[in-house]
A and B are shown apart, each in its own frame.
Chain A
Amino acid sequence: MSPAPETLPSTSQVDRLRQEMRTIRREMGEDVEELVEQAERLMDWHYYWQRYPWACVGAATLLGYFVVPGRTITLPTDERSLGKIAERLSGEVQKAGESKKPSLLGSLISMGTGMLLRGAAAYVTQQLGKSLLPGSNARPEEVHHG
């Protein structure tokens, strides 16, 4: 038996398929080229500079600002400078100790204040005791001895 004529593609169909495949291959190449061009353009900093000039200027200024390091404080480590610092510190400590020593007038005042406070506290305690325990203020009952 011979094969059915409709299962074999005709010559015109084959040509049409070949033509379509050629077109697809050509378009794919163009698309890839366009994609590569676009990627190259996006990688170029001039593109961003043209699109956002003032943002780029601001970013560059900030970059320059943050590149500058902060000021570092260096402490002297030689013996002479350390000796001067020690002398100054010991003088300050002596002055502080002298200023804390109480004078005669100050001690008298503090002593008098303490006495006054103690007297006042005793008086208040006494008055409170009288007011809270009224019976204690009464004269003691006479004891009758038989």
Chain B
Amino acid sequence: MVDRLTQYEQERSPASWWPVAGGSIEQRSTLAVMQRQFGDWCAGVTKWVIEHPEVALTGAVTTGVVLGWLIKRR
């Protein structure tokens, strides 16, 4: 699996942000799946979400609270 992942990264990841050297196996495989199915842009956003979990978690909860406030309280 790691060999296939490395081969995919060498073939399909010319982008400079791609974590070929760094990153765990889970992160690299998740990014490879996102890039293959949804493209570079989605993989880039996913990489940011993975690398900043606290910020992304806070942002997601805040978005939910704002949506809930707008839908339920207005």
Which residue of chain A has its CB nearest to the CB of B58? A60
Q: Which listed residue (A46, A66, A68, A69) contacts B53, Cβ 8 A? A: A46
Quick check: is B4 within 8 A (CB to CB) of the other chain?
no
Which range holds the interface residue count of chain B? 20 to 34
The stretch that binds B, out of A5-13, A22-30, A50-58, is A50-58
Chain A nearest Cβ from B63, distance in angstroms: 5
A68 touches B50 (CB 8 A): no
Number of A residues with CB within 8 Å of any CB on chain B: 24
Across chains A and B, the number of contacting residue pairs, with CB separation under 8 Å, is: 72
Bound: A143/B56 CA distance, A: 116
**Known contacts A50-B50, A57-B56, A64 near B26 by CB under 8 Å:** no
Quick check: is A135 within 8 A (CB to CB) of the other chain?
no
Bound: A36/B72 CA distance, A: 45
Enumerate B11-64 residues with CB–CB distance to A below 8 Å.
24, 26-27, 30, 46, 49-50, 53, 56-57, 60-64
Contacts of A67 in B (CB 8 A): 61, 64-65, 68
Chain B contact residues, majority secondary structure = helix
B61 touches A64 (CB 8 A): yes
Contacts of B5 in A (CB 8 A): none
Contacts of A47 in B (CB 8 A): 26
Contacts of B62 in A (CB 8 A): 64
Contacts of B53 in A (CB 8 A): 45-46, 49
Bound: A69/B61 CA distance, A: 15
Query: Could you jot down 13 A-B contacts, CB within 8 Å?
Result: A45-B53, A49-B57, A50-B27, A53-B49, A54-B46, A56-B57, A60-B60, A61-B60, A64-B61, A66-B68, A68-B68, A70-B72, A70-B73
